[in-house]
Chains A and B, each alone.
Chain A
Amino acid sequence: MSLLKSFNSYDSRIVYLLLFLIVTIPLLSPMGLPISVSPSTVTYYDVIDALGPDDLVLVVLDTEFSGYMEIQSGIIASMRVMVERDAKMCVAVSHPEATGIPELVFAAIRETVEEHGYTYGEDYVILGYVFPNEAAVASAAQDWQGVIHKDFYGQSTEGTFLDQIHDWSDWTLISDYTTGIQSGSLINHFGLRGTPMIVNCIGVMISTQMPYLSTGIYQALLQSMRGGAELEYLTGHPGPGMTAMDAFTLGHYMLIVLIIIGNIGYFGTKENSRRNVE
């Protein structure tokens, strides 16, 4: 009887401790559980795989640093593919915290960058915080040369491949890694005008981004950390995503077990109180 009651009302800190341990232990000692690849990830990969040396990609890190923790696997795997395809990348961010992300990403793909002779200024430029609000996105879409003059390091963008960009139509692809800060603005001012877009979003946003996928504004959608891990698997470069899948799996199973336990406790105490009344 008391067990059923404890299933129904227990200290939340037990759940916190369980979740903490269930996530931390597999990260400290990975188990290497298998992973399958979903069709949405395959579609996403097909889009970036089709890029070539003449293609200009605007990579928008549309996330705080917390969001990067979830989608870092997708960002790293995607940008590695873009480097391998020699596509020209312009990295812009829409949150001050995200200015710290490009350094981490390029450190993670340093070998690929060196292997392909990917050079700053010729093949990629890091602009930094250039999309602080919707008006900044709109002005960049309409008059790129009028608003973008310097990169994150204070160097002029003149003489780089960005000289070819005048407005939204000059981009081959917009690759948005988002927690929702300026994703709506990018859709409104780039996507709606016909610039192809792909997105890697956090789990919370998947249902709200799917309508844009169905209307064709997004070519592909990479879903959260799971999608990033699948992309790592697909591209043959295991990274933070695949390492995290053990903890990811156990966290999901833990929640299912807790809900079942809660329901056992609920029905058990309900049944007992009904019997007591009789």
Chain B
Amino acid sequence: MIDPVEFSIMVVGCFLSMCMFSTLYGKSSPLYALAEESYIGFATGLTIVMNLMYIYNTGVVGIQGGDWILIFGFILGIATLLRINPKYSYLSRLPIAITLGAQLGLSLRTQIYTGFIDQIKASIIPLFEGSAKTLIYNWTTFICVIFMLSFFLYTIEIKGPIKLSAKIGEYLMYASFGAIFAQTFMGRLGLFVGSIQNFTVPPWKKPILIACMAIVLVALIALDKLNLLEKLTPEE
């Protein structure tokens, strides 16, 4: 026996999802607008709820536990919200400056290592030790890194050996773009497959999926034939 709440979740979710897919028809439609505005509205509400919960659990509970300094978080936070008032928006500059400075400190102190020094260190790999497979891998990586780096030199004139190196780097980059594009497609396909899979497991969902697909497609074609698609779609 299927739970009525679960059934209603499936029907509404599937219908709205098919409405969102209606954008692939190539013309704007009120069905897509319905799905879009539903998502924007509910997701905004969810974001607000979750952030309020975080502020309460970290800030309010922390203050109640004796961490009085966290009151400054609330003072600065409320000052930030004053950004919306033209008369008092200047009050938001100080909290923005403080948070920006702190966040710059957080990122600059670590990214110098993870994004630069460690990457340079990892590029210095043994080129004359190891098995044949290891040597092939290491030499390929080393050559790719050196030549690709030379392609990104913008501060000197690209001529002579640097020009040849940059040209080779460009070709190597195109080869790597092929690999990256395939991984990107795998990712996007996975997102799509996963979203449809949501409506096929367990098996009782399958007829609902097919019905929603048919209803939305028929509705789209009917609205298009009656020239109602544009008339009912909200203006951008």
Contact = CB atoms under 8 A, between A and B. Distances in A.
Q: Do chains A and B touch in the complex (CB under 8 A)?
A: yes
Interface of A: 12-13, 16, 19-20, 23-24, 27-28, 66-72, 96-97, 99, 128-130, 132, 134-136, 138, 146-150, 184, 187-189, 191-192, 202-207, 211-212, 214-215, 217, 223-226, 240, 243-244, 247-248, 251-252, 255
B195 A69 contact: yes
Q: State the 10 A-B residue pairs at the shortest beta-carbon distance, nearest first.
A: A203-B187, A69-B194, A188-B110, A225-B190, A96-B50, A70-B190, A203-B186, A204-B187, A149-B61, A215-B118
Interface centre among A66, A99, A129, A252 (most CB of B within 10 A): A129
Contacts of A226: 186, 190
Contacts of B118: 215, 217
Contacts of A19: 192
B212 to A, nearest CB: 12
A204 B193 contact: no
Interface string B200-221: 1100001001100100000000
Contact of B114 (A20, A28, A212): A212
Contacts of A149: 57-58, 61-62, 65
A226 B185 CA distance: 12
Given A66-B195, A248-B193, A147 B58 contact: yes
Given A96-B47, A247-B193, A248-B193, A69 B198 contact: yes
Contact of A96 (B46, B189, B210, B213): B46
A134 B114 contact: no
Contact of B185 (A27, A225, A244, A255): A255
A97 B46 contact: yes
Contacts of B198: 69
| Interface residue SS majority, chain B | helix
Contact of B107 (A28, A132, A134, A146): A134
12 contacts: A24-B196, A129-B51, A135-B102, A136-B54, A148-B58, A189-B110, A204-B187, A224-B190, A225-B186, A240-B201, A244-B190, A255-B185
A13 B25 contact: yes
A244 B58 CA distance: 40
A225 B201 CA distance: 17
B140 interface: no
Nearest to B24: A16
A66 B43 CA distance: 13
Q: Is the interface of A mostly helix, strand, loop or mixed?
A: helix
A96 B201 CA distance: 24
Contacts of B26: 12-13
A19 B118 CA distance: 41
Contact of A244 (B43, B111, B194): B194
Interface string B92-120: 00000001001100110011011000110
Nearest to A133: B103
A28 B58 contact: no
Most buried by B among A97, A134, A202: A202
Interface stretch (B30-38, B149-157, B176-184, B227-235): B176-184
Contacts of A255: 185
B49 interface: yes
A130 B186 contact: no
Query: Which bucket holds chain B's interface residue count?
Result: 35 or more
Contacts of B213: 24
B188 interface: yes
B50 A129 contact: yes
A28 B189 CA distance: 17
Contacts of B186: 203, 224-226, 248, 252
A147 B70 CA distance: 10
Given A69-B195, A134-B107, A188-B111, A147 B190 contact: no
Nearest to A131: B54
Given A16-B24, A69-B197, A252-B186, 17 more contacts: A13-B24, A20-B21, A24-B209, A28-B210, A70-B190, A70-B193, A72-B194, A135-B106, A184-B114, A188-B114, A202-B191, A204-B183, A211-B122, A214-B122, A215-B118, A215-B119, A215-B122
Nearest to B60: A149
Given A70-B191, A96-B46, A224-B190, A188 B106 contact: yes
Contacts of B206: 28
A192 B200 contact: no
Nearest to B119: A211
Nearest to A228: B190
